[in-house]
Chain A
Amino acid sequence: MNPIKAAAGKVVVLVFVRTDCPVSNRYASTIQKLSAAHEGKALFWLVYPSKSESAEAIRTHGREYGYKIPSLRDPQKALVKESQAQITPEAAVFDGKGHLVYHGRIDNLYEAIGRARTVATTHELEDAIEAALSGKSVPASSTHAVGCYISDLE
């Protein structure tokens, strides 16, 4: 299924993750909290773009990290392409018309691999969701995410 087309009229947020990417794992509670804060308004999906991560491995991963968001496998990278995602974790926001309005980092916790702030000081994903929900234009349509390359995956 395509979660973007299926969600007619609603804002959709895809978050690309990988079971063995330490950066995306460290974001688990941030992602979960963002989804809870927009419950009923924005539909969140976790997207696992790896061919080799089984549905079982994904379920276990979701349990361990306390995810309540539904998850999808994207072995053909269809959603990756549609979202122009390159990294895990990377988020993509689609407005009610199914247009990609933002893709990039969740926030600026990481400046680079191995260079993290104590706390994030900008929150690009949240800003993009708020803008999409209120029909305003998103402050930045794309940012660079920090983490693991999706292109490394089969």
Chain B
Amino acid sequence: MKPGLQTLSGFSIFLALALAAVAARQAESGRKVPSPAADSKTQVTFNREIAPIIFRNCSQCHHPGEAGPFSLLTYADVKSHGRQIAFVTQKRIMPPWLPETGETNFTDELRLSDEQIATIQRWVDQGEIEGNPADLPPKPAYAAGWQLGKPDVIVRAEKPYLLPASGSDSYWNFVFRNPVHNSRWLKAIEIRPGDKRLVHHANVLVDREESGRRLEKEPGAGFGGMELIIESEAFDPDSHFLFWKPGSPPYVEPDGMALRLDKANDLILNTHLQPSGKPELIQPTLGLYFTDKPATMHPILLQLENDRMLDIPAGDKKFLVSDDFELPVEASVLAIYPHAHYLGKDLVAFATFPDGTKKTLIHISNWDLNWQAVYRYAKPVDLPAGAKISMRFTYDNSAENIRNPNQPPKRVVAGNRAVDEMAHLWLQILPGESPDATSDPLLQIQEALALHHIQNDPEDFEAHYNLGALLQMKGDGAGAVTQFTQAVRIRPDDPIANNALGAVLLASGHADEAIPRLNQALQGRPGYFDAHYNLGNALAAQGDFAGALLHFRAAVRLNPQDAGAEANLGSALAETGNIKEARLHFERALQIDPKNELARENLEQLNRNSQGRPN
């Protein structure tokens, strides 16, 4: 009896994610506020002209419990900040909205018209008159507590993070361990970061490989860092921006766009925190909302970047980083998220159609990390196959850039800290039909993207890894071996790459070459279920059932709910003559998964054997 080579686990994909907040979703855009044509002689009153502007554009953040440092709900509130409001609106510091007005509109644009700004100015100049109470529109009402009602599951960070009273901004990541007990379709996450005045933005990542936990110095404590690189299983997840920024209710995914969350998954909350002047304990809570409707549409997050080009000399005022990616299939762009740190100045993304026409996807001419956001298009931007998506990011590393974290300026390269830089453009796209009906458009884009990243940077570990995983899915074992070999060359100790290379070598009949890779994976990460499982299979393929037994036992210990590991353990036991225990494990495998064929066949075989000869 041979242990069956069950599905080899361990096909993971790396996605370097640095997500942010999504655009505010107010009921109405500030641009639609009617404003009586008030020339300089008309008297402006709070009740008639100012309250509607404030209620629609400011109060969503400026009310108790929200992020705004003071409330703007009454005449007295607004009057006590009147000149301030006139100043910050005129400078377009408030309401915070970075993109220029362009060819594409975003949902919930938070931008005052020139006329509205002039009206506020005039009100202040005229002495901030309250006006006729009958003109005052109803004060906006805000739900206390959960904005979407009671969540299906509420999880709280295990340990709080202590934000110092002063100093520069902090970036902290909280790990929420296994928030669900069986697979669910997630339609929304409400992020309650704690005191909203301190949290500039936050975003959630689904961590399917426990990679966040491994970065914690003590369990539950979280870990620092501005960006996250997490491993995630291939291709369906992380296709969503899960985001929070002040004043925005949680985004509810439309039907068919839910995100799968499995029981083995963790959630990681990445937060940008700003000191308030006093020490603060931050202990965020997440509310999860589920739907019965599984995902039928699978958007992906496409990343343009060129970190290798990021080597900005001290003093350079206009350093350009660019990247261009040609779409192999048609696709709709649903949302966009440009990201740079403190040196970023002018961020542009545009699409070039096959006929040469260009369309601006986003333009931010005065980048401010503090107000970064995910921008969702009011109407998806449809791009044909062959369209090119381009990013052009300009950086200012001079002393005149007041946000420059290095004074005097220093050479800056790509990195994860606030003093490093980043040139990333994320797009959430929904692939259309593939011209070649036999291939999955999603995989075509992923493959084109991986090849693109390798072309930009032959030392791009994630790209080699992803391409390997894609080729393996397509059944191109030799191609997968090549790519995983490159990944292992770049990071010889990386447990996941070693495991993947081992797995694909094993699957293509090279158990002898697989074994050292799998041992390496276990050395890099003791307790790595996939590597134990694969190594068990590799040793069994070599006829070393005693060796295989050890690794299957380890696999079963690590994941007692895995039918494949139980069935393989049973097989190895049977091979080493321990029929009695083998039977127990086959039964256990069938208990977990009644459809497990290996266990069923082997058990039947055992039963036939025991009938054939006396005990």
Contact A22 B69 (CB under 8 A): yes
Query: What separation, in Å, do the CA atoms of A65 and B278 have in the docked complex?
Result: 5
Residues on B with beta carbons closer than 8 Å to the beta carbon of A27? 277
The answer to whether B277 touches A152 (Cβ under 8 A) is no
Interface size on A, residues (CB 8 A): 30
Cross-interface CB contact of A119 among B69, B88, B96, B407, cutoff 8 Å = B407
Contact residues, B402-421 vs A (CB, 8 A): 402-405, 407, 418
Whether the Cβ atoms of A152 and B81 lie closer than 8 Å is yes
The complex places the Cα of A90 from the Cα of B403 at a distance, in Å, of 22
Stretch at the interface among A1-9, A94-102, A107-115, A126-134: A107-115
Q: Are B278 and A112 in contact (CB under 8 A)?
A: no
The residue that B83 contacts in the complex, of A50, A118, A149, with Cβ under 8 A, is: A149
B-chain residues with CB within 8 Å of residue A116 when the two chains form the complex: 402-403
Closest to A31 in B: B277
CA of A28 to CA of B164 in the docked complex: distance in angstroms? Answer: 12
A27 to B, closest residue via Cβ: B277
For residue A30, CB closer than 8 A to chain B, the reply is yes
Task: Say whether A59 faces chain B, with CB atoms less than 8 Å apart.
Answer: no
A112 touches B403 (CB 8 A): no
Whose C-beta in chain A lies nearest to the C-beta of B406?
Answer: A118
A41 adjacent to chain B (CB < 8 Å): no
B80 within 8 A of A: yes
* B276 close to A26 (CB less than 8 A): yes
Is there an interface contact between A154 and B165, defined as CB atoms closer than 8 Å? no
Interface string of B103-119 (1 = CB under 8 A from A): 00000000000000000
Selected contact of B165 from candidates A29, A117, A148, CB within 8 Å: A29
Cα(A30)–Cα(B167), bound, Å:
10
B342 proximal to A (CB < 8 A): yes
Look across to chain A and name the residue whose beta carbon is closest to the beta carbon of B83: A149
Question: How far, in Å, is A20 (CB) from chain B's closest CB?
Answer: 4
B79 in contact (CB, < 8 A): yes
In the complex, are the beta carbons of A113 and B69 less than 8 A apart?
no
Q: What separation, in Å, do the CA atoms of A52 and B368 have in the docked complex?
A: 34
B168 near A118: Cβ-Cβ < 8 Å: yes
In B376-430, which residues have CB < 8 Å from any A CB? 402-405, 407, 418
**Min distance, Cβ A68 to any Cβ of chain B, angstroms:** 13
Distance of A111 Cα from B278 Cα, bound (Å): 22
How many angstroms between the C-alpha atoms of A137 and B7 in the bound complex? 81
Contact partner of B70 (CB less than 8 A), chosen from A20, A28, A66, is: A20
| A21 proximal to B (CB < 8 A) | yes
> Contact between A151 and B83 (Cβ–Cβ < 8 Å)?
yes
The interface residues of chain B lying within 8 Å CB-to-CB of A113 are 84, 87-88, 91, 93
Q: Which residues of B contact A21 (CB under 8 A)?
A: 69
Asked if residues B407 and A121 are in contact (CB atoms below 8 Å), the reply is: yes
Tell yes or no: A25 within 8 A of B by CB.
yes
Min C-beta distance of B130 to chain A, whole Å: 13
- Let me know if B523 is at the binding interface, CB within 8 A: no
For B166, give its contact among A22, A29, A50 (CB under 8 Å): A29
Q: Report how far A114 CA is from B69 CA in the complex, Å.
A: 13
Assembly CA distance A111 to B400 (angstroms)? 11
Give the Cβ gap from B196 to chain A, nearest Cβ, in Å: 13
CB–CB A118/B342 < 8 A: yes
B609 touches A (CB below 8 Å)? no
CB contact between B403 and one of A22, A30, A118, A154 (< 8 Å): that residue: A118
Q: Does A64 contact B (CB under 8 A)?
A: yes
Q: CB distance A112 to B165 under 8 Å?
A: no
Q: A22-B69, A114-B88 are in contact. Are A29 and B277 (CB under 8 A)?
A: yes
Residue A153 CB within 8 A of the other chain: yes
Q: Are A152 and B276 also in contact (CB < 8 A) when A28-B166, A119-B407 are?
A: no
> What CA separation (Å) do A22 and B200 show in the bound complex?
14
Kindly report which residue of chain A lies nearest to residue B82, judged by CB atoms. Answer: A152
> When each residue 60-78 of chain B gets 1 if its CB lies under 8 Å from chain A and 0 otherwise, what string results?
0000000001100000000
Chain A CB within 8 A of B576 CB? no
In the complex, what residue of chain A is closest to B399 when comparing beta carbons?
A121
Q: Is B578 an interface residue (CB 8 A)?
A: no
Q: Which residue of B lies closest to A63 (CB)?
A: B278
B360 at the interface (CB under 8 A from A): no
The answer for the CA separation of A21 and B404 in the assembled complex, in Å, is 25
Is B82 a contact of A112 with CB atoms below 8 Å?
no
Task: State the CA gap A111–B197 with chains docked (Å).
Answer: 21
Tell me whether A152 and B91 are in contact in the complex, defined as CB-CB below 8 angstroms, given that A64-B278, A115-B402, A118-B405 are known contacts.
Answer: no
Contact call A154/B278, Cβ cutoff below 8 A? no
For the complex formed, measure the closest distance between the CB of A69 and the CB atoms of chain B, giving whole angstroms.
Answer: 14
B313, CB-defined interface residue at 8 Å: no
Q: Does A114 lie within 8 Å of B275, measured CB to CB?
A: no
By beta carbon, the residue of chain A nearest B370 is A114
Given contacts A29-B166, A121-B407, contact A112 B84 (CB under 8 A): no
Name the residue on A nearest B366 (C-beta).
Answer: A115
Are the C-beta atoms of A66 and B165 separated by less than 8 Å? yes
Give the chain A neighbours of B197 by CB distance below 8 A.
22
Chain A residues with Cβ below 8 Å from B84 are 113, 148-149, 152
- The answer for the CA separation of A30 and B278 in the assembled complex, in Å, is 11
User: Is B81 a contact partner of A148 (Cβ separation < 8 A)?
Assistant: yes
Docked Cα-Cα span, A22 to B62, in Å, equals 13
Cα-based distance from A27 to B278 in the complex (angstroms): 10
Q: How distant is A52 from chain B, measured CB to nearest CB, in Å?
A: 8
- Shortest A37–chain B CB gap in Å is 15
Contact with B along A14-49 (1 / 0, CB 8 A): 000000111001111110000000000000000000
Inter-chain CA distance A21–B407, complex, in Å, is 27
Q: Give A145 to B342 CA distance when docked, in angstroms.
A: 23
> Could you show 18 A-B contacts with beta carbons less than 8 Å apart?
A20-B70, A21-B69, A25-B276, A26-B166, A27-B277, A28-B165, A28-B277, A28-B278, A113-B88, A114-B370, A117-B404, A117-B407, A118-B342, A119-B168, A149-B83, A152-B80, A152-B83, A154-B80
Q: A148-B81, A152-B80 given; name 16 further pairs at CB < 8 Å.
A: A25-B278, A26-B275, A27-B277, A29-B166, A29-B277, A66-B165, A113-B87, A115-B403, A118-B342, A118-B404, A119-B168, A119-B407, A148-B84, A149-B84, A152-B81, A152-B84
Q: Which residues of A approach B to under 8 Å, CB–CB?
A: 20-22, 25-30, 50, 52, 64-66, 111-119, 121, 148-149, 151-154
